[in-house]
Amino acid sequence: MFTHKTEICLTDEQRFNLMTVPTDRPVPVVIDCDAGNEIDDQFTIAWSLLRADRIDLQAIYAAPYTNAFFANQDGQPTRVAEAKDGMLRSYNEIQHVLSLLTPISPPPVFQGANNYLKDCSTPVTNPAVADLIERARKAPSTLHVVVIGAPTNIATALLLAPDIAQRIHILWLGGHSPDWPDTEEFNLMQDISASRVILDSEVALTWFPCMGVTNTMATSVPEMQYYLQNTSRIGDYLATLAPQFPWITFAARKVIWDIVTIGYLISPAWFSSEVIASPVLNDNLTWSRDDRRHPIRQIRYIERDRLFEDIFRRLIDADKTEK
């Protein structure tokens, strides 16, 4: 078992104020994602831009990823063995998604880390981190940092500039529920050191566990095609992209994990949550509990249909929104 603490000092009152999402105005948001790896990041980016009434999307950061350990699965999309390759693929896919949403004004996109953290103390500097630090320090109100990949970029920013914790609220999808027998989850496992920095740093954090919570965000290829095929440019792209992921087999579902983070910022009322002590990530990828640790918000339940009703409608009407 290992814990690491950055030089962050927040009172519980400050932390809960940062975690509070205003519902009467658009909230400033940045997204850190591994869009080259799957399909859910693309949904998340598009939904963010199509809900400008709630989301002020200010920047997108390309996160590193590697998926070479899926090599034994026939038909797996392009194997990525190097973190830099995954980051660049993510960067290019983000740009492609934005191109399908023009003339909506796109936010700037920044390349992220070329490598994962080697430990919990050594940052991996990159343009995304520089932008996040500058943007957070200048933010007139809480900057909501959506983290839907390996948290390398965000952990680096906290290591380099712990003071930004006074201005940010992290919404991280990673790991499994504390009730799950393990936490062997893609985002968390890729950069265990960065995951520990996020959990141990005492930053304001809303946590979206995967198995046991967000796995309820399931759809299917036929459902995506039924609603999105031949609608808008982005809708048609997503309907065409979905069948290219071979693990979505006959009668199988596809979990669109990442949209929960933006869904929460759009309407916290769609979610149930509780305040818990930040869990301790053990070396064997299980959780330990220590109630002396700082509090975080853990999402427990999601009104699945409310999110999909809104996102499908926005994607269907995306080209109308642009006119």
**pLDDT attached to residue 1:** 43
**pLDDT attached to residue 68:** 78
Q: Please give the biggest Cα pair distance in the chain.
A: 54
Q: Is the pLDDT of residue 260 over 70?
A: yes
Give pLDDT tens digits for 61-100.
999 999 876 654 554 557 899 999 999 999 999 999 999 9
Residue 294 in 3-state DSSP?
Answer: coil
pTM reported for the whole predicted model: 0.95
User: Alpha-carbon distance 302 to 295, whole Å?
Assistant: 21
User: Alpha-carbon distance 163 to 6, whole Å?
Assistant: 10
In the chain, the percentage of residues whose pLDDT exceeds 70 is 93
Whose CA is closest to 128, among 156, 166, 169, 92? 156
User: Alpha-carbon distance 112 to 191, whole Å?
Assistant: 14
Q: Which residues is 298 bridged to in the sheet?
A: 207, 274
User: Alpha-carbon distance 122 to 172, whole Å?
Assistant: 21
Q: How far is residue 294 from each of residues 13, 198, 205, 225, 271, measured CA to CA in Å?
A: 12, 12, 10, 44, 22
Contact 302/209 with Cβ under 8 angstroms?
A: no
